[in-house]
Amino acid sequence: MSAKPVDAMSREVPGILKLTVTALAAIAAAIVLTGCGVFGMSEEPPESEYTQAEAYAPMEQAVVDTIAVLPDFPGFTARSWRELPCSHNGVDDPDYTNIEISYSFGKELSADPKVREDYIDVLREHWAELGYTTRTDEGDGAGFHDLSVKREDGIALWYKVWDMVGLVVQSGCVPVSDKGEIEYIPPAGGIEPGSDGDIVEEYFPDGIPTEETSDEAVAPFDHTTTAGLAGMVPWSREPDAPGNPTLGRYDGML
C-alpha cells in the first residue's frame, strides 16, 4: 500500500544517485530503524500486543509525548500513514504489516537551527532520561543527522534531520486488520484534520472525519505515558551485535 509522497520528508542525494521518496524512506528506515542482519527462522509469528487497528493510537500518542518536550514547538506541516512489509524466509507475510507514521516540518521550518540542532539535543537527553536505547545518533558533518531510539516495549522513534526534518514512528510487525476497523485519529502538531497536510485519505475512502476541533488535533490524547507497541523484532532473532546502531527486524526484512 502506497501513500501520497510527502515532499517535506524527502532528502536529495548529491551526485548521480537520486532516490524517490518511497524508495529512500524504505531504505533509510531499514538502516536506521531496523537491522539488516540475517536472523533465525522460527515458524512462529511475532508476538504483538496490538493489532494493526489498535496500534495507531499509541503510535500517535508517542508523537504527542515527543512534541510536549520540544520548546517553542512551531508545528508540523504534514502527517502520513503508510505500511511496510513484514517478511519471513524472504517472503512477505500478508498477515502482518509494519505501520509507519511520519510527521514533517516543511522546507521553511526545516531550515531553523532550533529544529535542526537544538531539538536533537533536547530529544537525546529526554529519551535517555526515559531509558530508551539509542540505536543511531550520527551526523554527516554537513548538517544531516539521524537520532533513533527503541523503547523497552518495542516502539521505535526516529528524529531525522535531512534537507527536511521530521519524526518517524514505527510499530514493528503487527497482525493486519480489516481496513474498516482502522479508526481515524486527528494529527498532532497543529495539522488540520482532513487538510492537504493530513495524508491518510487512502485509509478512509468515504472521507476523513473532520469534526475534531483544532485543539483536539494538536493533542488528541492526554500527556500520560502510553504502553508501546510490539516493535522491531524478528520472529526469532539473534542478539543485536555490539555497536550495531539499528533495531532488529524479523527475517532481516522491514
Q: Does residue 5 carry a pLDDT above 50?
A: no
| Cell numbers found for residue 219 | 493533542
Q: What is the mean pLDDT of the chain?
A: 74
Quick one: pLDDT at residue 134? 94
Query: The cell 518536550 sits on which residue?
Result: 69
Q: Does residue 23 carry a pLDDT above 50?
A: no
Q: For 108-132, what is the mean pLDDT?
A: 96
Q: For 139-162, what is the mean pLDDT?
A: 90
Most confident of 2-16, 26-40, 229-243: 26-40
What's the burial of 24, exposed, middle or buried (CB within 10 Å: 0-12/13-18/19+)?
Answer: middle
Region class of 155: left (phi > 0), else alpha (psi between -120 and 50), else beta = beta
Predicted TM-score (pTM) of this structure: 0.71
d(CA 18, CA 113): 26
Q: Does residue 163 carry a pLDDT above 80?
A: yes
- Domain locations along the chain: 7-252
Cβ atoms of 147 and 158 closer than 8 Å? yes
**CB under 8 Å to 237, separation ≥6 — which residues?**
35, 39, 40, 248, 250
Quick one: pLDDT at residue 88? 83
Least confident of 8-22, 118-132, 175-189: 8-22
Quick one: pLDDT at residue 209? 77
pLDDT interval class at 220 (50, 70, 90): very low
Q: For 73-86, what is the mean pLDDT?
A: 97
Quick one: pLDDT at residue 42? 57
Q: What percent of the chain is predicted at pLDDT more than 70?
A: 64
**CB under 8 Å to 167, separation ≥6 — which residues?**
63, 66, 76, 102, 103, 157, 158, 159, 160
